[in-house]
A and B are shown apart, each in its own frame.
Chain A
């Protein structure tokens, strides 16, 4: 058995060279690549963790904002409901006031219409009554009625002042109006009665006006003495109207 020191030395150098070369060109680059990949994977994981945390924070913020929206929505709805209730109350009050005003206006209008209607009906009734009375009184036109009206005429002249009576005598023609034509005897009797009442005979002009219904009236340009059914009925109608107004 021999031991070749040259071989030993050369093999030592061989292995040392191999260790250096592999260390320089194999182990270090490959391990560096593995380390680089590991570091990159860690960076990616760290970035993913940060992204996840950011996403979680964003989600929390979104949920918080959503809760805020819900609360704000509730507040807006509550405010809207309150405003609606208030508006409803105001509208109801306005409607009630408007209705009350309309009701009172309608009542007043109704009362006024009723009053007008009543007045109208009363007027019509008065006119109807006067018409009926006139027709009834027309059937009563006769000597007795004319005598009565002549009597009332003399009374009314007696109630006049002396100056008025004198003016009738001296004032010119006096129109004596009757409802029906008077015959001569009757005209004479009436002229005598007037002369007796006035102290002198006036200048009479006999006229006919059927509208008087019945009666005898005197009329001058400055004086008129009503004494007929028409005047009486007009006076009655005026009194009735006055009573209704009161």
Chain B
């Protein structure tokens, strides 16, 4: 069994080493993209069962964004929703025999956390400008600027470690149990791992929303207006 802390390249594209998590993630991206293309190709005003399901998914994401960020969900829907779908699909990719979840490797989680870090900055600057974004570090007090700055880095690091730890530990435990016990013994652990993967995807998305919302320089009244609108 390979160590989950080591990412070995499968092959090289020129000078670029391509590892298994990259291949798996690319396959997930391809599947999700193809599925999205198929799902959105025949949208009707009177929805069928599948369209009702994907609309339920979209409205659930919107509802979560409204409840968590207290803003209109449209600008953040694609980022938060896609992040959730990707992590969910990545965590559940362990259902495919021989496939290891890409989120069980540090680089993938780091990439996701890095994107959240960038999103906080991009959305914050887009809403309040550089001045407004930087002003969010001075809340609630100017003395807290260093602490807030450090927090903006550490919370991203905690995001990365949380996802990596949960997914990697599940995979590691299943691998150990599988190597020690029989074929069917790890099944309950795998089911638990699926639940953990879904919960972690939700937690990652919710925390991303919280971090982005903290970077938005919006007065409470604006947020309330946006909420009521």
Contact = CB atoms under 8 A, between A and B. Distances in A.
A4 B82 contact: no
Interface stretch (B109-117, B137-145, B176-184, B195-203): B109-117
B19 interface: yes
Contacts of A3: 106-107, 110
A34 B115 contact: no
A4 B17 contact: yes
B191 interface: no
Contacts of B62: 31
Contact of B82 (A11, A27, A31, A33): A27
A71 interface: no
A9 B22 CA distance: 10
Given A3-B106, A11-B22, A11-B108, A25 B81 contact: no
B107 A4 contact: yes
A10 B102 CA distance: 12
Interface in A25-47: 25-31, 33-34, 36-37, 40
A33 B39 CA distance: 12
B29 A17 contact: yes
A246 interface: no
Interface in B1-44: 5-7, 9, 16-19, 21-22, 25-26, 28-29, 32-33, 36-37, 39-40, 43-44
B45 A34 contact: no
B108 A2 contact: no
Interface in B54-100: 54-55, 58-59, 61-62, 74, 77-79, 81-83, 85-86
A95 interface: no
Main secondary structure, interface of B, reads helix
A70 interface: no
Contacts of A19: 78-79, 82-83, 115
Contact of B6 (A2, A22, A30): A2
A8 B111 contact: yes
Nearest to A31: B58
B55 A6 contact: no
A158 to B, nearest CB: 151
Contacts of A2: 5-7
A17 B37 CA distance: 14
Contacts of A9: 111
A3 B45 CA distance: 48
A157 B176 CA distance: 197
A28 B36 CA distance: 11
A16 to B, nearest CB: 7
A167 interface: no
Nearest to B115: A15
Given A1-B6, A7-B22, A21-B36, A30 B43 contact: yes
B58 A30 contact: yes
B123 to A, nearest CB: 13
A196 interface: no
Contacts of B5: 1-2
17 contacts: A7-B19, A7-B108, A8-B110, A10-B16, A10-B22, A11-B112, A12-B114, A14-B25, A15-B25, A18-B86, A21-B29, A22-B78, A22-B81, A25-B36, A26-B40, A27-B81, A29-B40
Interface of A: 1-12, 14-19, 21-23, 25-31, 33-34, 36-37, 40
Nearest 4 CB-CB pairings of A with B: A23-B78, A26-B36, A11-B111, A7-B107
Given A1-B5, A26-B54, 6 more contacts: A8-B110, A15-B29, A18-B29, A19-B78, A22-B81, A27-B77
